[in-house]
Amino acid sequence: MEVVQVLHMNGGVGETSYANNSLVQKKVITMTKPIREEAITKLYTTSFPAKLVIADLGCSSGPNTLLVVSEFIKIVSNICKKLGNQSPEFQVFLNDLPGNDFNTIFRSLPRDQGGHCFFSGLPGSFYGRLFPSKSVNIFHSSYSLQWLSQVPEGLESNKGNIYMASTSPPCVLKAYYQQFQTDFSFFLKCRSEELVAGGRMVLTFLGRRSDDPSSKECCYIWELLAMALNEMASEGTIEEEKVDSFNIPQYTPSPSEIKCEVMKEGSFGIDRIEVTDVNWDVYNNEFKGGNVSQLQSEDGGYNVAQCMRAVAEPLLVSHFGEAIIDEAFNKYRRIVADRMAKEKTEFINVTISLVRNG
Ligand code: SAH
């Protein structure tokens, strides 16, 4: 499976789209706002650039796509107003893999951008150069960098699992970690070349607190999907071998693993690093009773299954075919609902704010 070709969140605005099933990710963006606020304020007030180049990496398509860049623009515009400065021109790049639904983004762009905001879509992998040298002021990325550039090699012994799990042999955990190191260090190298001196980067990973990469806090969500797939294998709906050979190209790093790569690469200073958590179910977060979309319901199992389906469906379709999807996610919904009734179920988020050394 070519991750770069296959991976994308479900497009469009339908019931299984990312656009309609990304409230958890939105909540994370809301929670990490103070870190971005600090970064963009420091960035602008140390150099007062006449043009600010902003890039959001892994922007997907949906209500979250423009959330952060419009927040950056608002913050800088407010500072300018206060200081009586003329607002800079904003050049905004929205990046994601080529399979992303860029058309839906383009249709949602505000028509009147006041003549000082210029938006472009930028298809391509962030595990490679995306911009000319020293041309970007600030990079942002939320919930994207846990995706690896490829499924790690050497996972043959990860039978019955689809991600790192408590039953994964040590060589599987090692292969995942090495892929993360290779990918994230190359990401840092590319961005360090693209940023201007003093440029900044705020990155939020789906991650973990624990030092153990197979800890439940990051692996459980996929273990439950593996359960659904294994159930189908035992019922003969899918081949067991198919489940054995399927692995999710993700790595949910700990704060110290992220820091370690940043230090090794050497071009960035660490301004801040923070860990937060968010419940799997949107309804358990503060959206309760609020503006939850019509498609979201009080059925936590449904919400979580839909969220994970919007994220993982293209990967599953490419490996197992379309025919199994509805059944797999019905089973998953039931399994997830059962676990949520009995346990605390949270995603862990790690946010790091970096400055490009001058
Ligand atoms: N930032 C959005 C979307 C997160 S979903 C939000 O917070 O809601 C993660 C996105 O990262 C997906 O759209 C996926 O296609 C993208 N992504 C994963 N790997 C990528 C890569 N190597 N290069 C660019 N985008 C990538």
pLDDT value at residue 344: 83
Give the range with max mean pLDDT: 37-41, 111-115, 217-221: 37-41
pLDDT value at residue 281: 83
User: What proportion of the chain, given as a percentage, has pLDDT over 70?
Assistant: 94
Residue 90 and residue 56 in contact, taking contact as beta carbons nearer than 8 Å: no
Q: Which residues line ligand 1 (CB under 6 A)?
A: 7-9, 22, 25, 29, 57-60, 64, 95-97, 100, 125-127, 142-144, 147, 149
Which residue from 26, 60, 180 has its CB within 8 A of the most atoms of ligand 1, so it is best to mutate? 60
Distance CA 160, CA 332 (A): 16
pLDDT value at residue 297: 55
Q: Which whole number is the average pLDDT over 268-297?
A: 73
Burial 46-74 (b: 16+ CB within 10 A, else e): eeeeeebbbbbbbbbbbbbbbbbbebbbe
pLDDT at 153 over 70: yes
pLDDT value at residue 15: 85
Nearest to 130, CA basis, from 99, 98, 162, 108? 98
pLDDT value at residue 179: 98
Q: Which whole number is the average pLDDT over 23-41?
A: 94
Nearest to 181, CA basis, from 273, 267, 261? 261
| Nearest CA owner, ligand 1 atom 15 | 8
Measure Cα distances from 349 to 83, 97, 122 in Å: 35, 22, 25
- Per-residue pLDDT of 301-355, as tens digits, reads 888 998 899 999 999 999 999 999 999 999 999 999 888 888 889 899 999 999 9
pLDDT value at residue 253: 98
Comparison of pLDDT for 41 and 109, the residue scoring more: 41
Q: Which whole number is the average pLDDT over 187-211?
A: 97
The single-letter DSSP state of residue 22 is -
Comparison of pLDDT for 19 and 74, the residue scoring more: 74
pLDDT value at residue 18: 85
pLDDT value at residue 322: 94
Q: Is 170 exposed, middle or buried (0-12, 13-18, 19+ CB in 10 A)?
A: exposed
Ligand 1 atom with the smallest distance to the CA of 126 is 23
| Nearest CA owner, ligand 1 atom 21 | 125
pLDDT value at residue 120: 93
Cα(352) to centroid of ligand 1, in Å?
A: 17
pLDDT value at residue 114: 63
